[in-house]
Amino acid sequence: MDVVDQFVSVACEPEWLPGLLAVLGEGSVSTAAGVRKEFGTDRWHASAMPDVVVQAGSRDDVVATLRYANENGIPVTTRGAGVGYVGGCVPVKGGILLSVMRMNRILEISPADGIAVVEPGVILNDLQEAVRELGWYYPPDPASLKECSVGGTIATNAGGPRCVKYGVTRHYILGLEVVLPDGQVLETGGRCHKNKTGLDLIGMFVGSEGLLGVVTKATLRLIPHPEARAMLTATFSDFETAAGAVQAILNQGWQPSGLEITDGFTLKAARDYLGPEMLPDGDAHLIVELDGRRDTILHDLSKLRELVDSLGALSVVEARDKAACEAIWQLRREFSYSLRATGLIKLNEDIVVPRSKLVELVRFARQLEKDTGIPVACFGHAGDGNIHTNLMVKDYETDPIAREKADAALDVLFTWIIANDGQITGEHGVGLAKKRWFKDAVGPVSAEVHRRLKSALDPNGILNPGKFIE
């Protein structure tokens, strides 16, 4: 993990700055050190100073920026809300940091067509609340939904707890307006829910992490909002029993909208942080959410409880209304804060394994703890195998030896994941954090295809240089 720390002032303004100001005007461009520092980082342990920050207010600003940058060979790194965990928006080559957060309008919500049209700077939670008021639903729900931008979720193909039933961001993108590196505007897809006209260009841009173009408008698929939801939580004596319960729930025909699992280390941290009364005794924890019709949801919850009781649960708590459900999700969100409260640096790795290997993953994590002395906390989306595997490291940012040891442990982790049919990222992306494992994860032919696509669309290599496609 090559951590970048380039927060230094630029000695002089870049020679290309006057030309950029001529095409954009001074109101959109900043060279102030404080602004450049603010926009030069995300939530990963990496940072780099851009030469200038451009805060685009419109598609035309994006077009002008990219056209000028392409003509002059200037690196451009696009940034949304900056809440990613892999350094994807860190401008490691300097140049222009292009922020799209001023492009934050919900342009249209059409229940008749089942769509919303938005700019990339819209905060995800704002969109979800706006469509909910009309009885509609936009399901992607990463934990950062109150902070992250729609454009950022498109760039990373973000997911969240409800992916087990509803899928990830890609499943809800019907159309995109994308500014290509040379300033051309591509419109692909549209308002139709089915479309097999040409290649799937939408799929190429969703998850591309700012390497192929800049999204300036998205047409999103909406679905009717479920009438009601209900939940239960259950504690188990060990992770193996809880993982067995996950398989049993799915194998018996249940389709929960959320299915989360938590290991003993995380539970201990949560009890220390929140108080022991917040979580019953047990070394593993499940959260199961159902949604559907109001007249059947409580009956379904009762049947599900019967099943969970029969699977060895030590305790079961039901949530039968919106407030009680929100309290459970708030508890789940507190798990991450609980780990931070330990005083250790949390290296959050969003790895994915086949569901059948959940137990093997946690056993591997426990062995990694023994071998390295680094605690490993596992929790996350059991329904789709996306388990956040967190190395809890002391003095990671200040002690080179501790950092080297942690990076070596990460290498062991990702090597195991790749060898066991897993994936190195499920929703955060590759960025800088996982760059060194990218080729091993996808294989040489796939890596070369990625390179060819990048070269075809961005022959001058201006967009987000230094990341996983080079």
Provide the 8-state DSSP code for 179: E
Q: At CA 228, angle to CA 231 and CA 129, rounded to 5? A: 105
- Residue 366's SS3 state is helix
The domain defined by 106-224 folds into: 3.30.465
CA neighbours closer than 13 Å in the CB half-sphere of residue 34: 0
Assigned CATH class of 343-429: alpha beta
Q: 89 by DSSP, 3-state: which?
A: coil
Q: Is the distance from CB of 259 to CB of 308 less than 8 angstroms?
A: no
Contact predicate 305/254, CB 8 Å: no
For residue 123, give the DSSP letter.
Answer: B
- What residue ranges do the domains of the chain occupy? 5-99, 106-224, 227-339, 343-429
Q: What is the pTM of this model?
A: 0.94
Mean pLDDT by 10 residues, the chain (470 residues): 45 89 95 96 90 98 98 98 95 98 98 98 98 97 93 96 96 98 98 96 98 98 97 97 97 97 96 94 97 96 98 97 94 93 94 95 96 96 95 93 96 98 96 96 97 98 95
- Top-level CATH class of 5-99? alpha beta
Asked whether the beta carbons of 139 and 172 are under 8 A apart, the reply is yes
Q: Which two tokens stand for residue 125?
A: 């939670």
Residue 132 · residue 108 · CB < 8 Å: no
Q: How far apart are the C-alpha atoms of 464 and 466, rounded to whole Å?
A: 7
DSSP state of 384: G
Look at residues 76, 79, 31 and name the one whose alpha carbon lies nearest to residue 52: 31
140, 168 contact by CB (below 8 A): yes
Name the CATH architecture for the domain at 227-339: 2-Layer Sandwich (3.30)
- Identify the DSSP state of 64: H
Query: How far is 75 from 179, CA to CA, in rounded Å?
Result: 15
Tokens of 52: 């200038």
Spell out the alpha helix ranges (H) of 182-296. Answer: 201-205, 239-251, 264-274
Q: Are the folds of 227-339 and 343-429 the same?
A: yes
pLDDT for 1 equals: 39
| Structure token digits, residue 201 | 């260009």
Residues paired with residue 231 on neighbouring β-strands, in sequence order:
289, 319
Q: Which amino acid is at 228?
A: A
Q: What is the pLDDT of residue 11?
A: 47
Residues 6+ apart with CB under 8 A from 194: none
Residues in Cβ contact with 81 at an 8 Å cutoff, skipping those fewer than 6 apart: 101, 121, 123, 144, 147, 148, 149, 152
Extract the tokens encoding 6. Answer: 């380039």
The pair of structure tokens assigned to 371 is: 């071998």
Length of the chain: 470
Tokens of 300: 């379904």
Q: Structure tokens of 354? A: 């086949």
- Residues 97/37, Cβ–Cβ less than 8 Å: no
Amino acid symbol at 367: Q
Tokens standing for residue 59: 């598609």
Smallest Cα–Cα separation from 300: which of 309, 289, 310, 313?
289
CB-CB contact of 227 with 293 (8 Å): yes
Report the chain's C-alpha Rg in angstroms. Answer: 23
Nearest to 290 by CA among 257, 267, 321: 257
CA pseudo-torsion sign 20, 26, 29, 34: positive
Phi, psi of 332 (to 5 degrees): -60, -40
